[in-house]
Amino acid sequence: MTDTTETTISVPPAASPAVPNARFAQGNEGYFALVWRRFRRSVMGMIGLIMVIGLLLMALFADFVAPVDPRANGIGFAPPDHISFFAPDGSFSLIPRIYPIVETDELDPVTFQPMNGPDLQNPHILSLFVRGFDYKILWLIPSNIHLFGSRDGAPIHLLGTDKFGRDILSRGIVGSRISLTIALIVVFITTTVGTTIGITSGYMGGKIDAWVQRFVELVLAFPQLPLYLALTSLIPITAPSNVFIAFVIGVMAALGWAQLSREVRGKTLALARIEYVRAAMAIGAGDGRIIFRHILPNVMSHVIVGVTLAIPTIVLLESFLGFLGFAVKPPLISWGLMLQDTGAFSVIGSYPWILSPVAFVLITVFAFNALGDGLRDAIDPY
């Protein structure tokens, strides 16, 4: 009798193939998670996002950030104050301070006029969360606390003053409200109108599309700058400031929607031929459902990028029109209105700090352009 011994050979389970770390997806990620994953890899995009958030917070809490009352008058064309980290005895100090410029006992050897110099005995100590002029947080809560300033309440002019002695830094911070508000409202109107008309025109096609595109071409054919100047000059000088701003916003919006409409129409013509749109038509879905549920989500990526790139264009346009005197009128404050003081070359040559408002415009344009470029690169693969 043969003894048969069964030998059991244990075979290890087949190892599941390692899934490489996907570049664009991990697990069950949605569309916005995929875009955010790629956007985080863009250094310039993240810098632009941080700067845009900072600009919006600065505009929202402008009175809190401004160290000096932007409407308070002082010495005209005063130079910027210099921040020093040295005590009067020459030792280094971590506490920043400003030494005011006063007349000294020394005389100029040529003119024998008193010479100006720093007052080392009475410095203005800088600090955070100091008391200053009264304002209302979000136009509701009374307060007098400011982000930074001098402890003794003395005015500081880190960017100098204009011809009326008003602080340029504080006026630039407060002026961001008007400039950014105009840009955001104009872009919201142009985006809404342009997207709606573009999708409708591209989806409907036929005679409706032909007539709409002829009207779009007519709007695009207008020379915008002369038309801006002609329309804004129709408002009388005595008109209230809110009426003037509303008219400027209306003019910019009326001429700014056509280009986006043409771009959205082109994308809609391509999407209308895709299988899932034709399937929705075949099962009897209404035009409104097809447009808002199937086509609109697929053109929103282009619209979002267009918005981030259109805002700096409106900021530049408002600054240019304000420089010419066709945008915002006093007592309101905007970056374009502040640039009116730079109209004379003699002023720029003698008081170069009067060009400081240009820095606010450049920072805003860079921030939104960097954000738009980052979003465009992140959205393109999807």
Helix, strand, or coil here: 96?
strand
Phi-psi region of 20 (alpha: psi -120 to 50; beta: other; left: phi over 0): beta
pLDDT band at 2 (very low <50, low <70, confident <90, very high): very low
Cβ pair 83, 158 in contact under 8 A: yes
Cβ pair 74, 171 in contact under 8 A: no
Tell me the whole-structure pTM to 2 decimals.
0.83
Phi-psi region of 279 (alpha: psi -120 to 50; beta: other; left: phi over 0): alpha
Q: What is residue 232's predicted lDDT score, i.e. its pLDDT?
A: 67
pLDDT for residue 313 is more than 50: yes
| CA angle centred on 153, ends 149 and 159, rounded to 5° | 45
The sign of the CA dihedral 246, 317, 313, 254 is: positive
156-205 confidence digits (pLDDT tens): 999 989 888 899 999 999 999 999 999 999 999 999 999 999 998 888 88
Beta bridge partners of 136: 142
Q: What is the largest CA-CA distance in the chain?
A: 134
With tokens 């929202």, the residue in question is 60
Q: Which of 71-80, 103-112, 242-251 has the lowest mean pLDDT?
A: 103-112
Helix, strand, or coil here: 181?
helix
Report d(CA 382, CA 378) in Å as an integer. Answer: 8
29-57 confidence digits (pLDDT tens): 777 788 888 899 989 999 999 999 999 99
